[in-house]
Amino acid sequence: MTKFQKKLGLGLLILALFTPLGVILPEKFKAGGAWGEWGPEELQKLLGYVPAGLKRTAHLWKWLLSLIIVLAEKGLPRALS
């Protein structure tokens, strides 16, 4: 294992360990949803406006999530598995 690979592995491990903080800390401090997981409605309340790019693409995330849910329930098509 090279020095670079060790540093990369350590960095990824640190990120993996800190990832739950985005969910745990807002819950602990009663700050609402996980940091950065805001939808257009929540951003409107927090900022007073919704960025134009988010307005244009927000529906894509809803479509993608519904597709993932359907695939998870029915299983992946043969071409993808």
Same domain, 55 and 30: no
Residue 78: its pLDDT value, please? 65
Note down the domain range covering 23. 1-37
Residue 38: its pLDDT value, please? 80
- 3-state per-residue secondary structure call for 20-41: CHHHHHHHHCCCCCCCCCCCHH
Same domain, 31 and 68: no
Same domain, 18 and 55: no
Give DSSP secondary structure letters for the chain: --HHHHHHHHHHHHHHHHTTHHHHHHHHTT--S-TT---HHHHHHHHSS--HHHHHHHHHHHHHHHHHHHHHHH---TTT-
How confident is the model over 15-38, as a mean pLDDT? 81
Give percent above pLDDT 70 in the chain.
93
